[in-house]
Amino acid sequence: MKYDVVIGLEVHVQLKTVSKMFCGCGTQAGAEPNTQICPVCLGYPGTLPAINGEAVRLGAIAGMLLDSEIARCSKFDRKSYFYPDVSKNYQITQYPHPICIGGHLDITVGGAARRIGITRIHLEEDVAKSVHHATFSGVDFNRCGVALIELVTEPELRAPAEAVAFLQALRQTLVYAEVGECNLEQGNMRCDANISLRPAGAERLGTKIEIKNLNSFKAVQAALEHEIVRQADLLNAGGVILQETRRWNADAGVTESMRGKENAHDYRYFPDPDLLPVVLSAEQIAEWRATLPERPAARRARLAAEYGLPPYDAEVLAAERPVADFFEAVARRCGNGKAASNWIMTEVLRLLAESGTGIEACALTPEALGDLIALVGRGTINQPTAKALLPELFSRGGDPAALVRARGLGQVGDAHVIAEWVETALADNPGPVADYLAGKQAAAGYLVGQVMKLSRGKADPKQVGALVARGLEARRGGESGSGAAQAPGVVL
């Protein structure tokens, strides 16, 4: 039987705040266990939480980026449960009154565009982290109380690849606006997936399975693919899918049952009496809306249109906001968008990958790269000289024009000077010259290289190519003139 796949996602994103959701404790990752804690986030009796205004702003910004309606009034509830990772026996979260309602995110998979609906986004605090050692388990409360948003999608994703595309687009959008770092591997973005199958074309949804522990895009793809096969096999064999929560085991490549519906929690949500509702004025919402950055999709489209870039270039350059900012600054400086794109996409991104630094941290300024490109454009230096200078500008910075002057790297375009180098190179390399005359075209490239070497890389490569070709052909003329093995009348 053929089945339609229905997937919905629940995504937690850690907000980029200096302090926690309801207390002043720090949020730095990697701190010694239980060093960023206080009576409030540990839930001591008699303490009172206070709402972090920056977390509210970031939650609202996330909603605005995804075209959600921002609630003028949202409220916090207590979600009761008894686990070691919640010392006060409830987690503070928004339940019936979230900060953002509705919304959507557009994705493209295999060239096809789709709009995925968002049900809601709410604010909540994170729970502590259980750490399991060989003979004992510990709880690290540093993460307890850290500000999060939870985003729930409509069950509108139809394939594992769409789920991954959604997460990637979400990550890009939230990182652009500095809402969060959104790194699945580091756990500051976490994803649970709900998946069900129904006979192709059927209206009614099948029984859904929730999958947890998806800590990479690869895990999301693999776990969903596995679950589709598992559920289809079960249904084809006449079995019934029982609602349950399963965990992805990446090592074994399978999902494993965690708990069934009979164990489903009754969280007994009720309004937190310690917290006032979050009330946002229309002016406040408008003020935040005015600060929204251009979204990734809009920027891709604008880069392509404004600088005449192919779609692929625009996609690569717009993927990260600092790279896109850098590109635009370079393009403005040198006045050549395509050249700026070529230099960044090949040379600069390679240097960044090799050095493991971000574009903001490297010493290369957009002004310096723009000037370097302009020096090539004006013919002051040739492309190889510019490429040789780049690693130095990248690691140490500097002014390209000053470096070119100080080191005498200016391109030599004087035909007489180049002709002399060509004559020397041809005279010094009789072997390759003979090879060329015997039909080995590649030997010409070697001779061009020898001329560039004689010029210490400064000769205009175009002129060198032309003069080497002319010199070689002159020698061929000499040979045939000597009447050697050449039959008369042969057209070369």
First and final C-alpha spacing in the chain: 69
The values of phi and psi at residue 56, to 5°, are: -65, -45
Considering only residues 6, 38, 159, 250, which one is a binding residue for Zn ion as defined by CB under 5 A? 38
| Number of residues lying near Zn ion (CB under 5 A) | 5
Amino acid at 304: A
Choice between 43 and 102, CB closer to Zn ion: 43
Residue of 221, 65, 214 lying closest to 157 (CA atoms): 221
Choice between 23 and 324, CB closer to Zn ion: 23
Interface with Zn ion, residue 128, by CB under 5 A: no
Interface with Zn ion, residue 23, by CB under 5 A: yes
Estimate the crossing angle of helix 296-307 against helix 321-334, to 10 degrees.
20
In whole angstroms, the minimum distance from the beta carbon of 25 to Zn ion comes to 3
In whole angstroms, the minimum distance from the beta carbon of 268 to Zn ion comes to 24
Estimate the crossing angle of helix 321-334 against helix 311-318, to 10 degrees.
120
Choice between 41 and 128, CB closer to Zn ion: 41
In whole angstroms, the minimum distance from the beta carbon of 60 to Zn ion comes to 23
Choice between 24 and 358, CB closer to Zn ion: 24
In whole angstroms, the minimum distance from the beta carbon of 249 to Zn ion comes to 34
Q: Which residues, other chains included, contact 179 with Cβ-Cβ below 8 Å and sequence gap of 6+? A: 13, 15, 16, 58, 61, 62, 65, 149
Cβ atoms of 283 and 269 within 8 Å: the answer is no
Residue of 212, 183, 132, 218 lying closest to 29 (CA atoms): 183
Choice between 143 and 300, CB closer to Zn ion: 143
In whole angstroms, the minimum distance from the beta carbon of 203 to Zn ion comes to 48
108: Cα separation from own chain's centroid: 15
Task: Indicate the DSSP class of residue 48.
Answer: -
In whole angstroms, the minimum distance from the beta carbon of 89 to Zn ion comes to 17
- Residue 235, beta-bridge partner list: none
Q: Which of these segments, 20-28, 117-125, 430-438, 451-459, binds Zn ion (CB under 5 A)? A: 20-28
Considering only residues 25, 278, 389, 451, which one is a binding residue for Zn ion as defined by CB under 5 A? 25
Choice between 23 and 175, CB closer to Zn ion: 23
Q: Which of these segments, 41-49, 59-67, 379-387, 470-478, binds Zn ion (CB under 5 A)? A: 41-49
In whole angstroms, the minimum distance from the beta carbon of 37 to Zn ion comes to 6
The C-alpha angle with vertex 417 and arms to 414 and 423, in degrees rounded to 5, equals 135
Choice between 41 and 464, CB closer to Zn ion: 41
Amino acid at 490: V
Choice between 38 and 152, CB closer to Zn ion: 38
Task: State how far the Cα of 280 lies from the Cα of 99, in Å rounded to an integer.
Answer: 10
Interface with Zn ion, residue 146, by CB under 5 A: no
Footprint on this chain of Zn ion (rule: CB under 5 A): 23, 25, 38, 40-41
